[in-house]
Structure 1
């Protein structure tokens, strides 16, 4: 686990969002803009079901400002490329976005994963077979996930993610999923 001490324990939510806590995980710097100071002290847990592999994963991946490296490695394995089996580092900020959405919706449901990490080869194949797949997709950087949520319909997830304005939000009602990523806030 990597921890960082916050020198200003009583930051307002707005200050916290603007001065996002920086956590170094040996792989780069990750900001955590979606967690208020009060909630940052909580243990952060998520439950997943992968619709392609039929695997389940429930874990606590962080507590306070510390990420659990072993849990992050489990997430990396779980969200691997479903076609090639290639494993890639998943951005912990993406997990924080999922956790914050779950909390805002007041639900402890299960995230049903359609797609997590995608290798360039898988992404290229998807671009050929369907529209709407970006050539420089954040899926290829471990920064995106396509999901449903057992505790809410996709309209609720979409509205919540839009209100949070943290990362990219793609709305695919015909296909029945939401794309979330840890990039700049934008919508489609």
Structure 2
């Protein structure tokens, strides 16, 4: 019996524990659906269009295509009003980040899908836009969690090792994608 014993964990320790718990269970973030039967909910907003959405995109057994289509619309390239299917694993990664951080804060989307034309236009204005961006495939999202320290979001995303993680503190967002594991 360990009466009076207090154990304190840092956020980093908690994130490591959450990530290792998935690994122990044999669950990669990109295979989350087969590892848990909990429904997944997200509150999302698009900062450019002002649109908001609360959605349950996974009901505990399967992904809900109608709800994923609503997310795709919210993540559309607003500059040309073009919708493209987003990789559902991005939203599973965001759900895992929220779980690791113990929050269900609103996901504020800065950029989801980008058409090749939009990507090229953004590249002409910034060296930080990749020529073959995963945004053009619907496999990347730039976001922040409302009221959550951006470094914590980045650390949680990196700990998952589920794809690319970019950290943009001056622009106040984190980039995640479902490409190879890397960070910048």
- TM-score norm. by structure 2 comes to 0.83
> 1:127 and 2:123 equivalent?
yes
SS in 1 for 2:155: helix
Structure with greater strand share of residues:
1
Counterpart CA distance in 2 for 1:66 and 1:126 is: 36
Aligned to 2:162: 166
User: Structure with the greater relative contact order (CA < 8 A, sep ≥ 6): 1 or 2?
Assistant: 2
Instruction: Choose which of 62, 67, 85 in structure 1 pairs with 2:81.
Output: 85
C-alpha spacing 1:142/1:173, structure 2 compared with 1 (3 Å): same
Q: Is the 8 A contact 1:111 1:148 kept in 2?
A: yes
Aligned to 2:44: 48
SS in 1 for 2:26: helix
Runs of 4 or more consecutive aligned structure 1 residues displaced over 6 Å after TM superposition: none
Instruction: Choose which of 109, 132, 138 in structure 2 pairs with 1:136.
Output: 132
Counterpart CA distance in 2 for 1:187 and 1:66 is: 30
* Alignment RMSD: 1.7
Structure 2 unpaired stretches of 5+: 1-21
Aligned to 1:152: 148
CA shift, 1:32, in A, is: 2.7
Counterpart CA distance in 2 for 1:154 and 1:119 is: 27
Structure 1 unpaired stretches of 5+: 1-11, 21-30
Q: Is the 8 A contact 2:40 2:95 kept in 1?
A: yes
- TM-score norm. by structure 1 comes to 0.81
Please say which structure displays the higher CA radius of gyration. 2
